[in-house]
Amino acid sequence: MRLRALLDTDALGLRLLGGEDELDRTVRGVMTTDLRDPTRYLSGGELVLTGLAWRRNASDTEPFVRLLVSAGVAALAAGEAELGAVPDDLIAACARHRLPLFAVNESVAFATITEHVVRQVSGERAGDLAAVVDRHRRMMTSGPAGGGPDVVLDLLGSDLDLRAWVLSPTGRLIAGSKVSGPALPVDVCAKLAAEQLAAARTGRRGPHRLALGGSTYSLFPIRGGGRSAQGSRDVRETVLSDWLLAVEADAGDWPDERLDLLQGVTQLIAVERDRRDAARTVRRRLAQEVLELVQTGAAPSEIAARLRVAAPVLLPGLGAAPHWQVVVARVEWDGADIEAGPVAQSLLEEILVDPLATGPEPSDRIAVAHSGDEAIALVPLPAVSAEHDGSESGIHADVLLAAVRDPLSAGLDDDGRVTLGVSAAVHSAEGLRGALEEARHARRVAAARPGRVCAAGHQELASHVLLLPFVPDDVRRAFTARLLDPLRDYDRRHRAELIPTLEAFLECDGSWTRCASRLHLHVNTLRYRVGRIEQLTSRDLSRLEDKLDFFLALRMS
């Protein structure tokens, strides 16, 4: 701020006693002192406030003013409370050394002047940083060389003394400034992400604040240029994919200028977020191509050819992946018309972004496609030792969600579910179709469990699921007929649509609300049909074993 602006502020009650030609000087800070030599505490550009206690007689004035000028202060403001008026010798000395001099009325506290100057200087520093942020954003938007989010977080730390971090919706630490000190503990990251997701679900206006471990954090959402930027009609379409900026400060009393600055920072980081998403395009396309080949029953040689193309992209330098693993995810919302496939794809990419990394940098080598409401990840595994067949390596369902369960549960609230299934490792293209089915079966096992976030692995599948492909055809036909023939006969006689109802009920994982909505039925009508199915087959659709038997019978029919 300029000295001239101090005179224009009536609340400060300053009177100019000398130095009118110097009023365009810049004030960079403020200091109150009654030391005879305060230079050790001055760095230049300060407005010095003094009560004149250092002045015993007129001979003390010249040395004091000379020291202030040598330190490069912007101006001196002398209080009138002690002596009743500013001494003439001080006015003369300041005039000789071209040091602007103000008189401070005894009714005005030095604290009032200090608070005003600090607020103005801080706001201007924020404005200067905002200009830097804007230039950095333009640089990142126009090309790949921008430095990433770490650069702008360093600016927040060095210019505004703000410790800040970028977190994923699952609480993964994405970036932090060098001045932020040690990385946030994993449990703190998870709690911050959970708070942001819970606040987003309620529609509360941000920034959201959370007191944690003696510190207060302010949370700002980082919305990418996809669905979020286009203004999705339902927050559930993006709540599980938006990043967040966590700042160790209470933004509740921040001025609008600083809040605008942090909003600009989130927009800048969003550019990097969109760039990382774009980098996944090739992997997504490869996964989609392999998935289509597997699901359409393509020849193993054709699938193997696509895998040879995918492996160098996902595992650079390896050439080919000895083993592959499949993970299937599904995100479901009660009573919501949301395209769940892309939501599940984005979330699965985040959950698996670092499944096997051992170094300091996260590994982003998985490829995720989506088919309908499912997201399907094709995960390459590096070579394992000869004494292992790959079944003990790779991703394990029991630890997959351990670190992300709490944040996801907060984002899902009481109307959403995430279920995942993990296959065993397979050694070749021939095994991918079985791995996909295995992962889907495992996900259905997870869906039968209580809880908002559930996962299951291939080890948890019943033995008859794994052995079914090797059962003789006549046994398979008998198994199917015993379960489905009574329902087919009933449908032929009464047009009751029990088979379609059974299929929909299993696809909705036994959810009465979702199934009734899908079939456009009243829930009571659905309950009647399911009761008829159970009566005709002597099975109980609330039991996981019977659900699996019906599912397999339908798949084999």
Most confident by average pLDDT, 21-35, 149-163, 527-541: 527-541
* CA neighbours closer than 13 Å in the CB half-sphere of residue 210: 20
β 416-422/453-457 pair status: parallel
More confident residue, 102 or 477: 102
Residue 96: the pLDDT is 93
Residue 355: the pLDDT is 44
Per residue in 309-368, pLDDT tens?
776 666 555 555 567 889 999 988 887 677 788 888 888 888 887 544 433 344 566 788
- Residue 530 to residue 393: CA distance in whole angstroms: 41
SS3 501: helix
Residue 431: the pLDDT is 81
Residue 504: the pLDDT is 92
More confident residue, 269 or 67: 67
* CA neighbours closer than 13 Å in the CB half-sphere of residue 279: 13
* Beta-sheet strands, E only, within 227-282: 243-247
Mean pLDDT across 421-434: 84
- Residue 286 to residue 251: CA distance in whole angstroms: 44
Residue 227: the pLDDT is 46
Per residue in 336-350, pLDDT tens?
677 788 888 888 888
- Residue 487 to residue 344: CA distance in whole angstroms: 34
**Structure-block tokens of residue 488:** 């087919």
The answer, yes or no, to whether residue 472 has pLDDT greater than 70, is: no
242 contact partners, CB below 8 Å, separation of at least 6: 169, 200, 221, 222, 223, 224, 228
| Longest distance between any two alpha carbons in the chain, whole Å | 118
- Residue 90 to residue 53: CA distance in whole angstroms: 13
Tell me the torsion sign for CA atoms 193, 194, 196, 200: positive
Residue 25: the pLDDT is 87
The answer, yes or no, to whether residue 507 has pLDDT greater than 80, is: yes
SS3 534: helix
Tell me the pLDDT band of 505, cut-offs 50, 70 and 90: very high
Per residue in 204-251, pLDDT tens?
777 888 998 888 999 998 876 554 444 445 777 777 888 899 999 888
Residue in the structure block whose two tokens are 């944690």 = 212
Asked if residue 224 lies in contact with residue 174, where contact means CB atoms within 8 angstroms, the answer is no
DSSP 111-162: HHHHHHHHHHHHHHHHHHHHHHHHHHHHHHHHSS-S--HHHHHHHHHHHH--
pTM, to two decimals: 0.58
Tell me the pLDDT band of 387, cut-offs 50, 70 and 90: very low
Residue in the structure block whose two tokens are 């940098």 = 361
Mean pLDDT across 486-504: 93
What 287-291 contacts at long range (C-beta under 8 Å, 24+ apart), as own/partner pairs, is 287/367, 287/368, 287/369, 287/376, 287/377, 287/378, 288/369, 290/367, 290/369, 290/378, 290/432, 291/369, 291/371, 291/376, 291/378, 291/436
Residue closest to 191 by CA, chosen among 167, 175, 174, 220: 167
263 contact partners, CB below 8 Å, separation of at least 6: 220
Asked if residue 275 lies in contact with residue 193, where contact means CB atoms within 8 angstroms, the answer is no
The answer, yes or no, to whether residue 63 has pLDDT greater than 90, is: yes
CA distances from 325 to 19, 298, 304, 366, 397 (A): 77, 19, 14, 10, 12
Length of the chain in residues, anyone? 557
Mean pLDDT across 403-412: 84
**Domains of the chain from N-terminus onward:** 3-108 (3.40.1390.20), 146-279 (3.30.450.30), 282-461 (3.30.70), 470-556 (1.10.10.2840)
